[in-house]
Amino acid sequence: MATVKNQNARTTILFITAVVAMGGLLFGYDTGVISGSQLYFTEFFDLSTGEQGWAVSSAIYGCLFGALASGYLTKKISRKYTLLFSAVLFIISAWGSGFSSSLLELSIYRIIGGLGVGMASMAAPMYIAEISPPKERGQMVSYYQLAVVIGFFVVFLATYFIGNGSVSFISSFNETDLHSWNVEQGWRIMFWSELIPAGAFLLLLFFVPHTPRWLVLKQRTDEAREVLAAITSSEEEARLELEDIKLSFSETQQHHRITLASKGIAFILFLGIMLSIFQQTTGINAILYYGAEIFSNALGYGPEDALKQQLWTAGVNLVFTFIAIFSIDKWGRKPLLLTGITGMFLGLSILALTIYSGQIGIVSLLAILLFIGSFAMSMGPVVWVLLSEIFPNTIRSFAMSIAVAAQWLFNAIVANSFPVINGSQLNNAMFNGVLSYIIFSSFCFITFIFVWRLVPETKGKTLEELEGLWTGENVFHDADQIEPD
pLDDT for 440 equals 95
Residue type, 455: V
Average pLDDT over residues 356-370: 83
User: Does residue 466 form part of some domain?
Assistant: yes
The pLDDT tens digits for 249-291 are: 774 344 445 555 566 678 888 999 999 999 999 988 788 766 6
Residue range of the domain that includes 151: 8-250+259-481
Could you give the CA distance from residue 129 to residue 126 in angstroms, rounded to a whole number? 5
pLDDT for 236 equals 85
User: Does residue 333 form part of some domain?
Assistant: yes
Question: Is the model's pLDDT at 464 over the cut of 50?
Answer: yes
User: Does residue 128 form part of some domain?
Assistant: yes
pLDDT for 19 equals 96
Domains: count for the chain: 1
pLDDT for 297 equals 54
User: Does residue 456 form part of some domain?
Assistant: yes
Residue 75, CA distances (Å) to 54, 87, 127, 403 in order: 32, 18, 11, 16
Question: Is the model's pLDDT at 330 over the cut of 50?
Answer: yes
User: 308 or 479: which carries more pLDDT confidence?
Assistant: 308
User: Does residue 1 form part of some domain?
Assistant: no
Indicate the range of 19-33, 200-214, 291-305, 390-404 predicted with least confidence.
291-305
Kindly report the pTM of this predicted structure: 0.78
pLDDT for 34 equals 81
Check if the beta carbon of residue 208 is closer than 8 Å to that of residue 20.
yes
pLDDT for 100 equals 94
pLDDT for 94 equals 95
Question: Is the model's pLDDT at 107 over the cut of 60?
Answer: yes
User: Does residue 2 form part of some domain?
Assistant: no
User: Does residue 3 form part of some domain?
Assistant: no
Question: Is the model's pLDDT at 302 over the cut of 70?
Answer: no
CATH code where residue 136 lies: 1.20.1250.20
User: Does residue 200 form part of some domain?
Assistant: yes
Question: Is the model's pLDDT at 341 over the cut of 60?
Answer: yes
